[in-house]
Structure formats: structure tokens, C-alpha cells
Amino acid sequence: MADSQDDEAVKVLEQARTVDPSSPALAIALGRAYQRVDKYAAAHQILEAVLGSAIASAGQKTEARTVLVETLLWEGNLDRAREVGAALLSEARDSADSHRLAGMIAYREGNLEAARSELLEAVRIHPSDSEALTQLGLVQLAAGDSPAAVKSLEEATRLEPESLPALTSLARAYERLGQGEKADAARARLKLAYDQKSIRHNLAPLRSKGMQAYDAGRLDEALESFQAMLKLSPRDPQVLAQISTILLAMQRLEEAERYLARSLEIRPDNDLALTELGRLYALRNDLPRAIQMFGRATQVNPSAPEPHYYLAGIYFAQRRKDDFLRERAEYERLRPNSSGGLMPLPGEGSR
């Protein structure tokens, strides 16, 4: 879902639910995924089931109510949204989400003053909530307070530069104030953001296809998919790094190095590219430089397990037992973050 592969997320979560059909956490995640692919009735049904569950915790029921109100608003079911929203606000008075949703409901009802009050409270509780700021700007614009709307919407777009609703409303607010040049600039940003979202939407199925081929060992097919992604987004540092991963598996080291150089030129703190460059140096038996790259990767992304895995492998080969044990322990601690596919490291008694 974080990678905008919402349809794929639905498939994976539906499969997970067949394994653990009673899990409230999985139900909530699937409800969110259904909402994002416009399957509102399915989202509504599964989230209502969480609210009636005997094993869902109070926190999970609050989360389910939050997602359900959002879904009901998208679905156009204002009566049920009002009912669930009241329960949410009652149990989570200090929650920015509950006030934001109460404000959205009031706005739908035409009560601009109540909407403004609730949204101001949401922003007070959570000043960096770009969605609450966007909704507040929309209410202020509807109430005729264009200067306040501009202030709220500028902050929303600062926090979330590609927010289509915030940019759309910001352009309207500038127009209301007679600031045509700023309105044109906001519309230009809106077009760019829309184009970027369209590119990511087109990239998602190619990435899924490429990863499936890679996991199945069909490296030529995987490379073809990622090369197609690169044509759509030539300066995507992650795609460049992922192509290098495939090329390393194909033992095409010089080509992999060129892609890694391009990736790191665009984004020097790309931990995947740094990790893959470390692997490349290790394959060339340049272990000091490999260790350096893996170390940089751990500094950039302390939660990534893979650099620790490869460092442990190098230290094991060098018979540096203390260093090996340290890196292996770090890898084991972070292993839940791993995408999988790594061989087990040697055990305690090794060397």
C-alpha cells in the first residue's frame, strides 16, 4: 500500500485473511485497502465486523471506527457516518482523527462553524496533519475567509507537496484573492503531482510482475519489467537500484555498477543502492570497500537488516568472531523487517 500497489495489497491481505480469518488487525488493514480501491461496501462490511468482534481490543475498535467513518463519507452514507463518528469522538476526545472526521461530517451537513471548530481542534492536537489542514482550508474557503484558507492550505502542501485536494483548493484560494500568478503556480504543481501519481500507478503492476519473476528466478523477465519501469521514470533511484540487484544475480557486475552510480548520484542516501554496491565489492573480493558500503547503509537506514547480514557473512569468512556475532545479533533483531530470501547465518558454535 505504501508503494501505491493497492490492488496487489488487497490480494495479499485477502490471502492472509484465509490463514487468520479472526484477526482484527488484518480485517482493519483489508478495510483500508478496500477503501483505497473504491470497494466501499466490502470495506464497510469488514469494519463493522471488527466493531462487533469479541476479540478486538479497544484500540482496534477505535481504529476500525476511524476507517469506517472515512469509508462511509466516501460512500455517501452520512447518517451512519454521523452515528459512528459520535461514538468515535466520545471514546477518543483527544484524537486528532476523531475531530477531523467530526469536522468533515459537519461540513457535509452544511454547518461551517462546527466544522471549523472541530478541524481547528484537530490541527491543534496534530499540527502536522496535512489532511486536517486541507479540510480546514476547504471549510475556510467555503466560509469566505480566503486569507485563512491560503494559510492552512500552504501549510498542508508544505507537509504533503503532492496532495491533489490541497493543491486544487489552494489554487482556488489564490484566485479568490486575485493572486493569479500564485494560482497558476499552484495549478502547475497540481499537474506535476497528478503526473507523478499517474506514473507511480503505472509502475505498480510492472514492479509486481518484475518482483514475481525475480523471486521465481526468471531474471531476464524481471529485468525487462524493471527496464520498462525505468522508461516511465528515468530518474527513479529505487528502480535503478533494483535493476542492479537483478544484474548482480546475473553476474553482470559492470552494468550493475553503472546503474548503482546513477542511483546514488540522484539519491546519495539510498540504502538499497549502498547495500547492493557493498555486495558488488564483495563479489569482486574488495572486502574493505564492501564493509564501508554496508556500514554507510546501516547509518542511512538503521532498521534495515540486510547490511548487517552481509557484514556478518564477511566477518565470518574473515574469522572475526566478535564482529560476526555482533552483526549477526543485529540482523536477528531486525530480521522481521527483511523481505526474505536470505540464507540462514552460521550458528553460535561457528568458528
The CATH T-level fold of domain 235-337 is 1.25.40
- Comparing 89-93, 156-160, 164-168, which segment has the lowest mean pLDDT? 89-93
pTM score: 0.65
Q: Single out the residue of 212, 236, 235, 237 nearest to residue 222, CA to CA.
A: 212
Return d(Cα 226, Cα 256) in angstroms, integer: 13
Taking residues 142-163, report their average pLDDT. 95
Return d(Cα 105, Cα 97) in angstroms, integer: 12
Reported as a single tens digit per residue, the pLDDT across 33-62 is 999 888 998 998 999 999 999 999 999 999
Taking residues 57-85, report their average pLDDT. 92
Return d(Cα 204, Cα 91) in angstroms, integer: 38
Please report the pLDDT score of residue 330 as a whole number.
93
What number of helices (H) and strands (E) belong to the chain?
18, 0
Enter the DSSP assignment of 336.
Answer: G
Taking residues 3-20, report their average pLDDT. 84
Please report the pLDDT score of residue 193 as a whole number.
87
Return d(Cα 136, Cα 127) in angstroms, integer: 12
Look at residue 269 and give its three-state secondary structure: coil
Give the CA radius of gyration of the chain. Answer: 25
Please report the pLDDT score of residue 55 as a whole number.
94
pLDDT of 351 above 50: no
Instruction: Look at the block and give the residue holding cell 530480521.
Output: 335
pLDDT of 239 above 70: yes
Percentage of the chain lying above the pLDDT 70 cut = 97
Taking residues 252-266, report their average pLDDT. 96
Please report the pLDDT score of residue 202 as a whole number.
77
Please report the pLDDT score of residue 335 as a whole number.
85
Give the pLDDT band of residue 6 (cuts 50, 70, 90): confident
- Comparing 46-55, 84-93, 100-109, 118-127, which segment has the lowest mean pLDDT? 84-93
> DSSP H helical segments within 160-236, as ranges?
164-176, 180-215, 219-232
Please report the pLDDT score of residue 341 as a whole number.
64
Q: CA-CA distances (angstroms) from residue 249 to 72, 231, 252, 329?
A: 47, 22, 8, 26
DSSP letter for each residue of 268-301: TT-HHHHHHHHHHHHHTT-HHHHHHHHHHHHHH-
Rounded to the nearest 10 degrees, how much is the dihedral formed by the CA atoms of 128, 132, 136, 139? 170
pLDDT of 349 above 50: no
Taking residues 321-333, report their average pLDDT. 94
**Domain 6-196 is of which CATH architecture?**
Alpha Horseshoe (1.25)
- The alpha carbon dihedral of 250, 256, 259, 265 has a sign of positive
| Delimiting residues of CATH 1.25.40.10 domain(s) in the chain | 6-196, 235-337
Look at residue 23 and give its three-state secondary structure: coil
Q: CA-CA distances (angstroms) from residue 116 to 97, 225, 239?
A: 14, 48, 43
Q: Which residues contact 74 (CB under 8 A, 6 or more apart)?
A: 35, 38, 40
Please report the pLDDT score of residue 348 as a whole number.
44
pLDDT of 292 above 90: yes
Return d(Cα 295, Cα 1) in angstroms, integer: 29
Taking residues 278-282, report their average pLDDT. 97
Return d(Cα 63, Cα 57) in angstroms, integer: 10
Mean pLDDT taken over the chain: 91
Q: Single out the residue of 8, 26, 7 nearest to residue 18, CA to CA.
A: 26
Please report the pLDDT score of residue 203 as a whole number.
81
pLDDT of 287 above 60: yes
27 neighbors 42 (Cβ within 8 angstroms): no
Reported as a single tens digit per residue, the pLDDT across 176-230 is 999 999 999 999 999 988 887 777 777 878 888 898 899 899 999 999 999 999 9
Greater pLDDT, 168 or 199: 168
pLDDT of 302 above 80: yes
- Comparing 63-67, 192-196, 254-258, 265-269, which segment has the lowest mean pLDDT? 192-196
Return d(Cα 263, Cα 269) in angstroms, integer: 10
Reported as a single tens digit per residue, the pLDDT across 87-98 is 998 887 889 999
Q: Which three cell numbers stand for residue 341?
A: 530470501
